[in-house]
Amino acid sequence: MENNQPIIVKRVKKVAGGHHGGAWKIAFADFATAMMAFFLVMWLMTTATPEQKKLISGYFQDPVGFSESASPYVIDLGGTPTPAPDRTLNPESEPDSQALDTDSKAATDQPDQAQIDAAQAESIAEEVERERLELLLQELQNKVEEDPQLQRFKDQILFEITQDGLRIQIMDAENRPMFASGSSQLQPYFEDILLALVDTIKAVPNKISISGHTDAKPFAGAGDFGNWELSANRANAARRVLIAGGYEEDQLARVVGYASSALFDRQDPLNPVNRRIDITVLTKRAQRDIEGEQTGGEAPPAAPGDAPAQPPAAEPLQSGELRERLNIFEDGVLQMDQQ
């Protein structure tokens, strides 16, 4: 008997790379949630105070014991302690006296900490200032080596860092004085040295002090004019050259004469190097000391040989014109001193 039933062939079509389902979405959501929680924890760690961090640490170490002995203050992300509602009326929840004593001691120690911070800041400022002066020293030394005009006199120019700042000493040499004998009239080469150095010196904000020195030979002048007056006049003459060369007058802290009281060569008081002009680029501490001496209480009596406190200002001049005006001025000063 023949089977006439139709034969049905079912074909299954396979598609490569079909749908994977939604499991990856759940995994990604979990990852995003974890990252958000991580960044939230990091933000809390940066904004929480040390006391809040201590409370959080105590809770996770011992949740049960912490809840029984915790501070009466709940954690406030704003940094302000907020009394817990269930403990405000409980006397046992009040801060103990030891905690209050600790807070009081911390508040008392704050002025001491401020003093320590101020001392540290001043120490750092002094270190920076010293480095600045050392750079200035190196720059001046390079200028002397590179400038042919200054190189001829480098044996008369000495640079050194002292407690008061950077000291520049310009000294007499044998048969090469900086001033005319017994006078405050500058020799042309000394004037050129000062004018060559002024641009470098005025580049730093520190004030300067100028002092004049003589040797121990008594001054053979008339009247009461002596080495004290001579050293002061020579320091003042150096000041006028610096001002004429463009140095700011308000950057001068002091101009003074020491006569032979601070010899460079104590073994030979008549050595020409004892006749010198010192220009000190002052540290801030040395500047404050000088200004304190000048302004503290009543004005102190003028030391022998002190230059005028408010010297006249001068405009920058050419070297020849400057020398001519200085010579006229010095002649007038000497005549006034001898009268």
Reported confidence tier of residue 335, pLDDT bands at 50, 70, 90: very low
Contact 60, 53 (CB under 8 A): no
Question: Is 140 part of any domain?
Answer: yes
CA torsion, points 95, 101, 102, 104, in degrees to nearest 10? Answer: 110
Residue 225 CB coordination number (10 Å): 15
Q: What is the mean pLDDT of residues 318-339?
A: 48
pLDDT at residue 308 in the model = 40
pLDDT for res 41: 79
Give the pLDDT mean for 14-29. Answer: 65
pLDDT tens-digit readout, 251-267: 999 999 999 999 999 99
Q: What is the pLDDT of residues 233-254, one digit of tens each?
A: 999 999 999 999 999 999 999 9
H or E element in which residue 276 lies = strand 276-282
pLDDT in tens, 145-168: 999 888 999 999 999 999 999 999
The answer as to whether 167 is a domain residue is yes
CB 327 within 8 A of CB 185: yes
**pLDDT tens-digit map of 81-97:** 545 454 444 445 455 55
d(CA 193, CA 147): 10
| CATH number, residue 242 | 3.30.1330.60
* 79: in domain: no
Q: Is residue 67 part of a domain?
A: no
Specify whether the CB–CB gap between 195 and 245 falls below 8 A: yes
Q: Are strands 252-257 and 208-213 parallel, antiparallel or unpaired?
A: parallel
122 located within any domain: no
Give the chain's count of helices (H) and strands (E).
Answer: 9, 7
Does any domain span residue 121? no
Least confident range from 67-76, 212-221, 307-316: namely 307-316
Residue 90 to residue 83: CA distance in whole angstroms: 11
- Residue 12, φ and ψ in degrees, nearest 5: -105, 120
Q: How far is CA 258 from CA 70, 74, 79, 96, 305, in A?
A: 73, 72, 63, 68, 7
Tell me if the pTM is above 0.85: no
**Domain interval for residue 306:** 135-338
Residue 46 lies in a domain: no
Which pair of structure tokens corresponds to residue 331?
């002649």
Which residue is associated with the tokens 């002596």? 226
109-146 pLDDT per residue, tens? 566 666 667 777 778 888 888 888 999 999 999 999 99
Q: How many domains does the chain have?
A: 1
> Residues 45, 48, 52, 54: is their CA dihedral positive or negative?
positive
Q: Would residue 99 count as lying in a domain?
A: no
